[in-house]
Structure 1
Amino acid sequence: MSASVSVFASPNSWIESGAVDQCHQVAALDGMLHVAGMPDLHPGKGAPIGAAMRSTVLYPFLVGSDIGCGIAVFPIALKRPAPEKLVARFPDLDVPLEPDPDDPAWAFAAGPDGTVPAGHTEGLGTVGRGNHFVELARVQSIVDSPHALRLGLDTGAHVLIVHSGSRGLGERILRAHTEVHGAGPAEDPAAYLAAHDDAVRWGSLNRRLLAARAALALGADPAEPIIDQCHNLVEVRDGAYLHRKGAAPGDGRDVLIAGTRGTPSYVVAAHAGAQAGHSVAHGAGRKMSRADALRRGRAKHTVEELRRTPVGSYVVCGDRQLLFEEAPTAYKRIEQVIADLVAHDLATPVAVTVPVVTYKTADRGRRR
């Protein structure tokens, strides 16, 4: 007998039938108790993205290869933040950072002990590809003033938003499992969870490194994050395994729900219950596959249009294919995702941010 499935989206939301089908396929797995689909739900490789899945059995493939992927928000104080000048000052975040106590970004992010989870130094301080990014954003408006004040957010202030994960570490952990067990359950849940927890800590460290590198390059002091929530992970909760794939913890947490390079993002106070897997959406969610976005985008947009967005922000991206794959039109409307969360009483908006400069990958051949 299949587990129950709930999708927290309105009839106005763009939810592909393939994503709902994947939820029901997961619900039929041995030990599955409940599957909750978020309003950013979309199909993934073998399992839905934008879902929280509760089971008595631990399935590594439900978390995927980018264990520890999440979004963090860091305050940043800038003098005269002219966007066209800040574009040129963004560092090359494709070049890995070596652990070095004399490097100010490393010293700030790694702390006094300077340890790297799992000893995995490959890719430290780099963004990765896909939908990962580092963004300088401006607080456009405040929705809940007392809550925003507690977070230190005010209209006109700037923040760094970092979306990245565990780079090659999570992939290595999943591959070690799938080479033996495929999509089957973890034979030794404790061993998997130990490796998994290292990847979660690595992802958080990497977001701190990225923010520190960006802040220093932009002439600001690095700051501690006011939000740092992982959305690819599994936790043991109430005697079961709660898998999250593209779903942020929503049990009394503050979460940044990312829009696109050309639309706002939302800071929300999440208060999701058990039926929603104690989770909320992690972003706008894809509306098109990467292949469709590339094909349609080339017919509809120019590269220059995608480098300067409708909200006036800049996009740093030397990979033209990635520019089209990550075009704002490839994603659902973030406003609808937020409206669905509010309608289902899963979250309350606190503040709205808009992009100023978004870094995807270095643009070394372009004079800025």
Structure 2
Amino acid sequence: MSTVQIFATQDSWIESAALDQCHQVAALTGMIHVAGMPDLHPGKGAPIGAAMTSTVLYPYLVGSDIGCGIAVFPITLKRAVAAKLATRFPDLDRPLRIGDGDPAWEVADGDVPAGHLDGLGTVGRGNHFVELARVDAVADVVHAGRLGVTTGDLVLVVHSGSRGLGERILRAHTDVHGAGPAADPGEYLARHDQAVRWGSLNRRLLAARVAHALGAAPTEPIVDQCHNLVEIRDGRYLHRKGAAPGDGRDVLVAGTRGTASYLVAAHAGPDANYSVAHGAGRKMSRADALRRGRVKHTVAELRRTPVGSVVVCGDRQLLFEEAPTAYKRIERVIADLVAHRLATPVASTVPLVTYKTADNGTGTRPDRRPRHRGRGQR
């Protein structure tokens, strides 16, 4: 019989709908263990913030944004005045094109996975973002030294996924098999792995585009962890949906655009399916956040955050949907990871500029085509 374990303390709030989804997943054929992270919240058909081990591969447990993850890139700037830097962010709704001469291409190594050029170099919608942040405090000098970060350092945090490629892969499966298992796991995994590589490449290109725009040299990431993927571990399929690999990895657990985020050294074991939280986790649906936010906040208020950072977002609805108040307290999530001995905090970062989509004030208009609208952080 499969088991369910939730890695949250009694002080944490977990929606009953998310718990129900964990037990529904646990009832699937071949399921062995479901581990819910402290950022657990309901998703479309499966929980977000969960790691699920099974003898059977279920593509829908990974979802459509295969390869979505968070990467952290050091960046060196002479001055970091948020209001000025916000105006210099490039239009990350405009995709890169082969042969367009953009210097960001210099970080690309080899061919584009799956030859998928649509949306390359763009951030996407929903909970995705590119952020210039400052290292606010170091909690573990040994781990921080290993990563090469210290208080006051600047970093680019990039959260994006496979920009339509993963959706195409999932749809090819669901059109035939619905929410059922993969008929040919090897074939699915081959395409899945391309989407994971594509997501990592996209994060590098996004960071390079922003670095060049801000007058800095692109750098290699000190962290780049995918949190929507499946891997084979000990002969079983380990599905992660909004859960980062925690088996000795370094992970950026994202807060909100108005709170800190945390670099952690993860050391999760088998009970947690070798996974940790990937962010703060929503406490409001997008509809609720939009309805409540319009009563409490103005657009101008949401363009500045409680920590003094600037938000670049030309989509007013998205500003409300992704407001900091729509999320759980990141400090509670980190405390739960520590309480369950899943991770060691290394350093906190605070946002200076958070980019969601091109701002109308810059003369660009946000792309209104349908986008992935995940329910994770931001």
TM-score (norm 2): 0.95
Cα deviations by residue, 1:162-192 (Å, 9 ceiling, x for unpaired): 0000010000000000000000000000000
Aligned-residue RMSD, C-alpha: 1.1
Q: Which amino acid aligns with 1:51?
A: A
What secondary structure, in the 3-state scheme, does the structure 1 residue paired with 2:176 have?
helix
Cα deviations by residue, 1:7-53 (Å, 9 ceiling, x for unpaired): 00011111000000000000000000000000000000000000000
Cα deviations by residue, 1:97-116 (Å, 9 ceiling, x for unpaired): 012384310122x12x3x10
Please tell me whether residue 364 in structure 1 is matched to residue 360 in structure 2.
yes
Please tell me whether residue 222 in structure 1 is matched to residue 221 in structure 2.
no
Cα deviations by residue, 1:132-180 (Å, 9 ceiling, x for unpaired): 0000000000000111111110101100000000010000000000000
Q: Distance in 2 between matches of 1:205 and 1:80?
A: 28
Q: Distance in 1 between matches of 2:112 and 2:254?
A: 27
Matches within 5 A, 1:282-361: 282-361=278-357
Partner of residue 204 from structure 1, selected from 200, 209, 223: 200
Q: Which runs of 4+ in 1 moved over 2 A?
A: 99-103, 364-368
Q: Distance in 2 between matches of 1:285 and 1:158?
A: 25
Which residue of 2 is the match for residue 64 of structure 1?
63
What secondary structure, in the 3-state scheme, does the structure 2 residue paired with 1:68 have?
coil
Q: Report how many aligned residue pairs link the two structures.
A: 364
Matches within 5 A, 1:133-282: 133-282=129-278
Q: Which amino acid aligns with 1:124?
A: L
Cα deviations by residue, 1:317-350 (Å, 9 ceiling, x for unpaired): 0000000000000000000000000000000000
Q: Distance in 2 between matches of 1:99 and 1:267?
A: 34
Q: Give, in angstroms, the shift of residue 366 of structure 1.
A: 5.3
Which residue of 2 is the match for residue 33 of structure 1?
32
- 8 Å Cα contact 2:87-2:362 kept in structure 1: no
Q: Distance in 2 between matches of 1:309 and 1:12?
A: 26
Q: Give, in angstroms, the shift of residue 365 of structure 1.
A: 3.4
What secondary structure, in the 3-state scheme, does the structure 2 residue paired with 1:225 have?
coil
What secondary structure, in the 3-state scheme, does the structure 2 residue paired with 1:365 have?
helix
- 8 Å Cα contact 2:133-2:349 kept in structure 1: yes
Q: Give, in angstroms, the shift of residue 367 of structure 1.
A: 7.6
Q: Distance in 2 between matches of 1:214 and 1:7?
A: 38
Q: Which amino acid aligns with 2:39?
A: D
Which residue of 2 is the match for residue 73 of structure 1?
72
Unpaired segments ≥5 residues, structure 2: 365-378
- 8 Å Cα contact 2:38-2:277 kept in structure 1: yes
Q: Give, in angstroms, the shift of residue 222 of structure 1.
A: 0.2
Percent identical among aligned pairs is 79
Q: Which amino acid aligns with 2:298?
A: T
Cα deviations by residue, 1:204-228 (Å, 9 ceiling, x for unpaired): 0000000000000001000000000
Q: Which amino acid aligns with 2:297?
A: H
What secondary structure, in the 3-state scheme, does the structure 2 residue paired with 1:89 have?
coil
